[in-house]
Amino acid sequence: MNILNENTLSLVRYLTFKLELPYNLNDVLFQPNDTVSNDLINLKLKHIYDNFIYLYNSSLISSNVIPVSCTAVAGITANSTSFRWNKNINTSLLIPISSNNNLFGLDNTNLLYLIKNNDLDKYSVLMGTTSSFTAFNFDSQASYLTFAFANNEVDPGFNVYYQSITAMETIDYNLFVLDCKLNKVVKYDASGLYTDDIITQNSIRYLNSLGNFGPANSKLEFNSPTGLTTFNKNLYVLDSGNKCVKLYDVNLNWLYTYRLVIDLKDYISLDIASDSLGNIFILTNKKLFKYSNDFQTKEIFDLENIFPGEIFSKIVFSKVNKDVFYLVSNLNVYKKFASTPADTVGKYLLYLFNYNIPNDRITGFSSAPTENGDRNVLFTLSNNTGKMGNFFDNLNLYDILRARNFDIYSFDQIKLNSEEYFQNWVFNKAISKLLINHMRFRDQIIGKFVGSQDGNGNIKFENTRYLLPNELDTIFFEQDISNYLGANELTTTSIINRIIKKLFKIQDSLRNVLEAEVTNNPGLSKPVYLN
């Protein structure tokens, strides 16, 4: 059977995470006062089985050399007054975008929204400041960057005078813009950004708007809304001041209000996003909440202790990989998994592309699909100078197994059945199947992950290497009588623990050999710009 279909604990691990079995020795052992029963034995066997699945998943890693490449960086140089892509230059040569009077204010971009035009194989990036947004077009090779329009060309006469643009989202060809201070959602026809029609190209059209200041029980009003997301062609508005989420259809008709006061009362709500299954993620200043689509269940993940000192702003889901999202702070972009938000692929190694964090503060990030991966744009501000990077990103997986699909016993085949009377041979049967699983897995392991660390603590994935003979020796084991209960042995907790300890020792040996090998490499921090 394919063990990827099992109830897994983590599909891909972050290079720098130390491997720790989900259940330690004390968890899998019987305690002195435990009564030996089928149910309790099955619980201990399940802990051992989950450890096995964890080990299996630890043999697959996603490279943390992310992003894969930086195609170009947009900015203005001293010898050019146009905002354009620059390749193979040191970005310290860029000067404020506002040096071009036509682009005044773009250095203060605090929001990016990227749209893919499949008809023309190009992208439109909307750059939002507090009071306006401007659109530029470019291709995936970054051979050009051209002005498309500014919102002040669209809004006159409709009384839309932005004060604090905080979010943008699209449903079909409709663009929704959220203003936190106006407490307003504005809807545009953005079909001109998706078409090759020469009449509507490079334009959007105002349709209508919704909102004013109001309480949670108001269907059409908000109190400092900060985020938008979409699912099933419905629009979710994070009404931060009212500690709720309001749901609308594509025509801005109210559908439902989800009250979240108990969850969000102690936090500042920053952003909202949804995954492909409709799970809703709400980012706050200290916690990340993951809700089911009906908000009936939730998981909570700590940010304050894991990422101390960082100010988070946004969640952006990959447009290509349904399980990947980007968690954006003022200093880093973290690549994470929707299915297991506690797991991280890694963070953007921006120093490899001439970014100088923390002097370069991240203010905007967005993603759109491209062939085999994500096209991501990143905006940073340093010394009043803004620049926009054009990155390619995908999930580069590396494996240290000969094959990922091999026959193993499922837990249903291992566990003791309720109708089985507990006796030595019944227990031995389960242990034998667990041992066979571990032996078959052990026989597939051929290598070890290798990374390098610079003097600043940055760790970069390098490659894999074959296991050395002494490392292979540490995971060599065979089935013998010491692995099983003797025919006449008493089934006491201490005797059963003798067997479990041997099995746990095998798991710990496998864990040790699967640990990544990290070597010191003082030259690692040297920038490798634009590949």
Beta strands across the sheet bearing 227-231: 227-231, 234-239, 244-249, 254-259
Tokens of 314: 């946004």
pLDDT in tens, 118-135: 989 899 999 999 999 999
Q: Given a cut of 70, is residue 4 above it in pLDDT?
A: no
Q: Please tell me which residue, 305 or 248, carries the higher pLDDT value.
A: 248
Task: Please state which CATH class domain 69-395 belongs to.
Answer: mainly beta
Percent of the chain with pLDDT over 70: 94
CA 357 to CA 335: how far, in whole Å?
17
What pLDDT does residue 531 have? 36
Mean pLDDT of 376-390: 95
Higher pLDDT: 152 or 1? It is: 152
In this structure, are residues 177 and 183 in contact, taking their beta carbons and an 8 Å threshold?
no
Q: Give residue 1's pLDDT band: very low, low, confident or very high (50, 70, 90).
A: very low
pLDDT in tens, 182-213: 999 999 999 999 988 888 888 899 999 999 99
Please provide the DSSP assignment of 427-460 as one string: HHHHHHHHHHHHHHHHTTB-EEEEEEE-TTS-EE
The confidence score (pLDDT) of residue 300 equals 96
Average pLDDT, the chain: 89
pLDDT value of residue 417? 84
Comparison of pLDDT for 253 and 34, the residue scoring more: 253
- By percentage, how much of the chain surpasses pLDDT 90? 64
- For the chain, the structural domain boundaries read 3-63+399-525, 69-395
Burial class (CB in 10 A: 0-12, 13-18, 19+), 402: exposed
Continuous H helices in 208-297:
261-264
Mean pLDDT, residues 376-397: 94
**What letter does residue 111 receive in the DSSP assignment?**
E
pLDDT at 409: 94
Is the per-residue pLDDT at 5 higher than 80? Answer: no
Encoded tokens for 525? 């921090």
Q: Please write the tens of the pLDDT for every residue from 459-518.
A: 888 899 999 999 999 999 888 777 777 777 777 888 889 999 999 999 999 999 999 998
Q: How many helices (H) and strands (E) does the chain have?
A: 7, 31
- What is the predicted pLDDT for the residue at 528? 40
pLDDT band at 107 (very low <50, low <70, confident <90, very high): very high
- Cross-strand bridge partners of residue 73: 86, 389
Q: Is the pLDDT of residue 12 over 70?
A: no
pLDDT reading at 59 higher than 60: yes
pLDDT value of position 425: 81
Q: What is the arithmetic mean of pLDDT over 122-151?
A: 93
Copy the structure tokens of residue 37. Answer: 């029963």
pTM (two decimals): 0.84
**Is pLDDT of 64 > 90?**
no
Q: Is the pLDDT of residue 371 over 50?
A: yes
Question: In this model, does residue 527 exceed pLDDT 50?
Answer: no
The secondary element (H helix, E strand) that includes residue 470 is helix 469-474
Task: Compute the average pLDDT of residues 170-179.
Answer: 96
Question: For position 155, what pLDDT does the model report?
Answer: 66
d(CA 465, CA 442): 16
Among 140-154, 274-288, 464-478, the range scoring the smallest mean pLDDT is: 140-154
Instruction: Measure the CA–CA gap between 114 and 203, rounded to whole angstroms.
Output: 15
